Chain A
Amino acid sequence: MSKRVTSGSELVISGISRAFGAVQALDRFSLTIAPGELVCLLGPSGCGKTTALRIVAGLEKSDAGTVMIDGEDLLAKDANQRDIGMVFQSYSLFPNMTVAENIAYGLRVRKKSKEQINKRVAEMLELVSLQSKMNSFPHQLSGGQQQRVALARALAIEPRVLLLDEPLSALDAQVRTQIRDEIRRIQIESGTTTLFVTHDQEEAMAISDRVGVMQHGRLEQIDTPNTLYNKPETTFVAGFVGITNYIPSVADSKNEVQVLGQVLEISEHSSVVKKGEEVRALVRPESIHVEKASHGAKIITKSFLGPMTRVGVDAGLAELIYAEMSSKEAKKFDTGDHVKISITTEMVMVESV
């Protein structure tokens, strides 16, 4: 495992807002990233994550708020004076330059000496394992290679903060995982404070120290991937991160709910409900237990996911209820089998219908 360096800068975003006409893209958005930390902004299209990133980069103006790096006001500086590295969604390498020339670009702009440029370019090429491609042009590289060069180019200037705007979305699945791990390794080795924007929850969970889930221009919750998955603070986060069953239920009281015939405690971040109210209980597939039965619910789908298998059960509700189990255990079940399902957790999150 690579050695963790924490020599990066602290990025503090406070209350930035941005409207495009009637659309409020960002609404008093705040976020602090510790030196050397990698934070992902995760959210659906139009949630404001890319706008936030572009404001930090200086490619977009903010209507209000501040952005500070190590206590220095960033918004007062022009975009080309901020010392921020950026990797774009689409391959943004300069097509008229070789790999080495692309990596050297920021250093040439800074008028570094030829020796310094050559040394740094060699370091960066080694970092992204592309020494043999230094004289190739971008159109001679695969998509994954191009993004690695883009990463090397952004890091070559030793940026105070690295921004990555959905850098993997143009790559195919296999290469995406490979480059994702590579980005994380390089980020840890360089200790660069990094803000990563994505709409892919798996990507966000895999790469980040913390993940910030956004909706309607605001941060819904920011936490470690583990906490975000297991202790979501809003129903939106619970629904957006991971797979969730929305099971129609009825509140027994403001603290208890009846789900699939079981009485469960309502978790603290749920909607406020009153006795007799129809609600939806949010239950993870791994919290659904399935056992054979002679009648009742029926298995409709069975999806092999490697070590785990997901089954979709028709329990007479509007939507299937999904349950996950080990693939070994799943061998006992086939589609069409009658089963009984139950919830294994004592506490669930509920939302008003």
Chain B
Amino acid sequence: MSLTNTVPESEKTRELGNSRRKFQFPFPLLPFFLFVGFFLVWPLSKVLIASLKSNNESWTFSNYTPLFHGIYFHAFVTSIRIGVVTALLGALIGALFAYVIDAYAGPRLTSILDSIAAVFANSGGVPLAFTFLASFGANAGLIKLLKSLGWDLYAEGFSIFSFTGICAVYIFFQAPLMVLVFKPALSGLRKEWKEANTSLGGSPWTYIRRVAIPILFPSFIGSFLLLFAGGFSAYATARALTVGNVPLIPLIIGDLINGNVISDKTHLGASLAIGAIAIAAVAMSGYVWAQRKSSQWRR
């Protein structure tokens, strides 16, 4: 007496049904497709075309040459560094918060904390910059207090207008965003996995190392990439905090396209925008892959 490896008939029928199903245009999604077409595909095409044209409207790749050297390359590197540093720190801090909330907060407190995290995660921009200026600016009360206690942050090279300052401000919204996107993955760790590890002779550390971390890893990477994309392309907060001392791609693109700083450089601005979109697209592709992987494991 033995079992065969067959899939139950009901599952077979379902698979067969799926493969035979004819394609039908999803009409209820038409408004969404139109929205994407008008506000994403159409403008993106315009920017792409603009990046491939010279000032006299002839086709050229020359707008892309500055991306690989000089100040624009440096700006890309700085933006990527800010994206990576703030995403990494935000991911680590946020993951820690998410764990503490998941492990110790009851359903009601969790709901309140989720709401708070959502508010913080969406509190970027000029108001956030001013909040930090009030707290960490050279003449802010906190900085003065620390100075009176013998710790002069500005004398040690800290400035809210520096790379470090920008990172500190970004983490303010990156960490709560991490709480929001990573906590579902933590909640998805099933009690049975922990108990199965125990009954099979594993220690808590064995469970963390061999089960929990590998299961959470795709979600963590996905969340990190989402945070990176946000940090890399943040504009308003950076605009309010920097005064040209930290070259960042979103600000440079804004200046070039608006013609605020240098005129006749809109085509270069378009090529920088395409470069930035390409980087964000790579990050978001990684995010989608990671989400798919982790949802597959949570089935």
Task: Name A's B-contacting residues (CB within 8 A).
Answer: 2, 57-59, 79-86, 88, 90, 92-96, 105-106, 109-110, 128-130, 132-133, 139, 142, 144-145, 148, 150, 153-154, 157, 163, 172, 174-175, 178-179, 181-182, 185
Is B263 among interface residues, defined by CB-CB distance under 8 A? no
Cβ–Cβ < 8 Å partners of A153 in chain B: 196, 200
Known: A57-B199, A79-B198. 5 other contacts (CB 8 A): A2-B1, A80-B198, A94-B215, A95-B299, A139-B297
Cβ–Cβ < 8 Å partners of B201 in chain A: 80-81, 83, 106, 109-110, 157
Cβ–Cβ < 8 Å partners of A144 in chain B: 3, 8
How many positions in chain B have a CB within 8 Å of any CB in the partner chain? 30
What are 16 of the A-B contact pairs (CB < 8 Å)?
Answer: A80-B197, A86-B196, A94-B210, A95-B299, A96-B211, A96-B214, A106-B200, A109-B206, A129-B4, A133-B5, A148-B3, A153-B200, A154-B200, A157-B200, A157-B201, A181-B1
Cβ–Cβ < 8 Å partners of A175 in chain B: 8
- Indicate if the CB atoms of A94 and B198 lie closer than 8 Å: no
Is B296 among interface residues, defined by CB-CB distance under 8 A? yes
Complex interface: stretch among B111-119, B187-195, B272-280, B281-289? B187-195
> Which single residue of chain B is at the shortest CB-CB distance from A185?
B1
Cβ–Cβ < 8 Å partners of B199 in chain A: 57-59, 79-80, 82, 84-86, 154, 163
Cβ–Cβ < 8 Å partners of A81 in chain B: 201
Cβ–Cβ < 8 Å partners of B214 in chain A: 96
- Indicate if the CB atoms of A80 and B202 lie closer than 8 Å: yes
Compute how far the CA of A188 lies from the CA of B242 in the bound complex, rounded to whole angstroms: 75
Instruction: Write the B131-168 contact mask toward A (1 if CB under 8 angstroms, else 0).
Output: 00000000000000000000000000000000000000
Task: Name B's A-contacting residues (CB within 8 A).
Answer: 1-5, 7-8, 10-11, 190, 192-193, 195-203, 206, 210-211, 214-215, 296-299
- Indicate if the CB atoms of B10 and A172 lie closer than 8 Å: yes
- Indicate if the CB atoms of B8 and A129 lie closer than 8 Å: no
What total of A-B pairs shows CB separation below 8 Å?
A: 100
In-complex Cβ contact of B5 among A105, A110, A132 (8 A): A132
Compute how far the CA of A144 lies from the CA of B3 in the bound complex, rounded to whole angstroms: 10
> Which single residue of chain A is at the shortest CB-CB distance from B200?
A106
Compute how far the CA of A138 lies from the CA of B104 in the bound complex, rounded to whole angstroms: 30
The answer to whether residues A59 and B3 also contact, given A80-B201, A105-B200 and a CB cut-off of 8 A, is no
- Indicate if the CB atoms of A129 and B190 lie closer than 8 Å: no
Compute how far the CA of A154 lies from the CA of B200 in the bound complex, rounded to whole angstroms: 7
Task: Write the nearest CB–CB distance from B130 to chain A, whole angstroms.
Answer: 45
- Indicate if the CB atoms of B198 and A88 lie closer than 8 Å: no
- Indicate if the CB atoms of A96 and B3 lie closer than 8 Å: no
- Indicate if the CB atoms of B3 and A86 lie closer than 8 Å: no
Compute how far the CA of A98 lies from the CA of B203 in the bound complex, rounded to whole angstroms: 21
Task: Write the nearest CB–CB distance from A91 to chain B, whole angstroms.
Answer: 8
> Which single residue of chain B is at the shortest CB-CB distance from A102?
B196
- Indicate if the CB atoms of B198 and A58 lie closer than 8 Å: yes
- Indicate if the CB atoms of A95 and B5 lie closer than 8 Å: no
The answer to whether residues A92 and B195 also contact, given A109-B201, A157-B200, A172-B10 and a CB cut-off of 8 A, is yes
The answer to whether residues A129 and B200 also contact, given A139-B297, A144-B8 and a CB cut-off of 8 A, is no
Compute how far the CA of A59 lies from the CA of B193 in the bound complex, rounded to whole angstroms: 12
Task: Write the nearest CB–CB distance from A202 to chain B, whole angstroms.
Answer: 19
Compute how far the CA of A59 lies from the CA of B296 in the bound complex, rounded to whole angstroms: 28
Cβ–Cβ < 8 Å partners of B210 in chain A: 94, 105
Closest 8 CB pairs of A and B: A92-B192, A106-B200, A95-B297, A86-B199, A96-B214, A92-B196, A109-B201, A88-B192
Task: Write the nearest CB–CB distance from B134 to chain A, whole angstroms.
Answer: 46
- Indicate if the CB atoms of B192 and A139 lie closer than 8 Å: no
Task: Write the nearest CB–CB distance from B210 to chain A, whole angstroms.
Answer: 8
